[in-house]
Amino acid sequence: MSDLPEPTPLLTSPLHTRHAALGAKFAEFAGWDMPLQYPSGVLAEHQAVRTRVGVFDVSHLGKVWVRGPGAAAFANRCLANDLDRIGAGGAQYTLCLDESGGVVDDLIAYRFSDDEVFLIPNAANTAEVARRLSEAAPEGIEVRDVHHSFAVIAVQGPDSPGILRYLGLPHDHDYMTFREHLVDHADVIVCRSGYTGETGYELVVPNEAAGDLWDAMLVAGAAPCGLGARDTLRLEMGYPLHGQDLSMDITPVQARLNWAIGWDKPEFWGKAALEAERSAGPKRRLWGLEATGRGVPRAHMTVLDPALNDPALNDPANDPALNDAAPDGERAVGETTSGTHAPTLKKGVALALLDAAYKPGAELELDVRGRRLPVRVVKPPFTASDPH
């Protein structure tokens, strides 16, 4: 008999049986069994979102209510962005940091009122975000993890307003604002947002109403899309993924997310550490890399500067700062955090943490299993899409 513990069963979306009926290929993601792609394939799904409309089940995303007198002010003392920049009905990208400035998670905050805020963290971090907020909450503030009570459906693409109009849902509100709408006695939150760079919406819906809403999206003409296309779409826009491009070891200053920090606020978790790093200047920054040769970047590839390949300069005996990860004694100047083939551009793209000296326009190389792939440093997004 094995002493190994039984594997934890994967969590499933309330739409799981519908994905299976559509022939979806599933993959584990943050403890959830989620659709990676449908029989049409990732490229077709990517193209549907860029040119028409696609619908994603992203119910693995977390859901946390923060309620009570002064709930918004409390959340604002904890999270990095300034929640007072938005009013009731506004949504905001923000960060939950620890005191070192590391990113516990990035999330979206929906401000319902001064006394009610709804948070959507990433799947793997929901419990930790809720725990930290709950432990810090003063008497009278309730932090409630409702991860498994709601589905989240993302409708993305230039035709997405028409889909919502057809279904009688709100569709003409501003970017990063939300509206509530009653659908068959279920209160649906419709936020004008997304993770693809296209016009789109994310709908938070009670589990019991999710199936009918999903079915209606498909009848209205939305193409079902999986997490594979979601990743290629977000990478074309240079949107970071927590656990790869953001982490406890990659601060928002390094990731060039200063715009998501409420620097003028009197307090937020990690403020002192971030201010010190910003003042000193980060030693590395997250930039985009665009392949100028044939090849596909992936995460954790070493970035090299061919201008530093003089053997005399790269002798470890002469320079103890040489990175052991670099091949043949060459000097590593960074590492990719995400990478893919960008279907819209028909070339490889990546996000990479580079030594602070490197800026857009620099010509570098990736070590792709011993082969050199030339790349150019660029400022994302890689495509011209604009969700606004």
C-beta of residue 45 within 8 angstroms of C-beta of residue 196:
no
Count the helices and strands in the chain (H runs, E runs).
8, 20
The pLDDT of residue 35: 98
Intrachain domains 11-59+149-236 and 64-144 with the same fold: no
Q: Taking the C-alpha atoms of 61, 32, 128 and 202 in order, what is their torsion angle to the nearest 10 degrees?
A: 0
CB 205 within 8 A of CB 156: no
Percent of the chain at pLDDT > 70 equals: 92
Sign of the torsion formed by the C-alpha atoms of 118, 121, 124 and 128: negative
**CATH number for the domain formed by residue range(s) 11-59+149-236:** 3.30.1360.120
Check residues 340 and 2 and name the one with the higher pLDDT: 340
Predicted pLDDT at 320: 47
338 burial (CB, 10 Å; 0-12 / 13-18 / 19+) is buried
Domain at 64-144: CATH architecture: 2-Layer Sandwich (3.30)
What's the confidence (pLDDT) of residue 388? Answer: 67
The pLDDT tens digits of the residues spanning 62-113 come to 999 999 999 999 999 999 999 999 999 999 999 999 999 999 999 999 999 9
* pLDDT, tens digit (0-9, with 9 covering 90-100), for 18-44: 999 999 999 999 999 999 999 999 999
pLDDT of residue 321: 46
Going by C-alpha positions, the residue among 308, 359, 361, 298 that lies closest to residue 332 is 308
pLDDT at 329 over 80: no
Contact 47, 342 (CB under 8 A): no
Q: What is the DSSP letter of 342?
A: E
Mean pLDDT within 324-345: 83
pLDDT at 310: 55
> Binning pLDDT at 50, 70 and 90, where does residue 183 land?
confident
pLDDT at residue 328 in the model: 57
Exposed e or buried b per residue across 55-70, where buried means at least 16 C-beta atoms within 10 angstroms of its C-beta? bbbbbbbbbbbbbbee
Return mean pLDDT, the chain.
Answer: 93
- Chain segment 347-377, per-residue pLDDT in tens: 999 999 999 999 999 999 999 999 999 999 9
Cβ(81)–Cβ(95) below 8 Å: yes
Domain ranges in the chain are 11-59+149-236, 64-144, 283-378
Rounded-to-integer distance, Cα 64 and Cα 16, Å: 22
Record: fold of 283-378: Elongation Factor Tu (Ef-tu); domain 3 (2.40.30)
Q: Which amino acid is at 354?
A: L
Give the pTM. 0.93
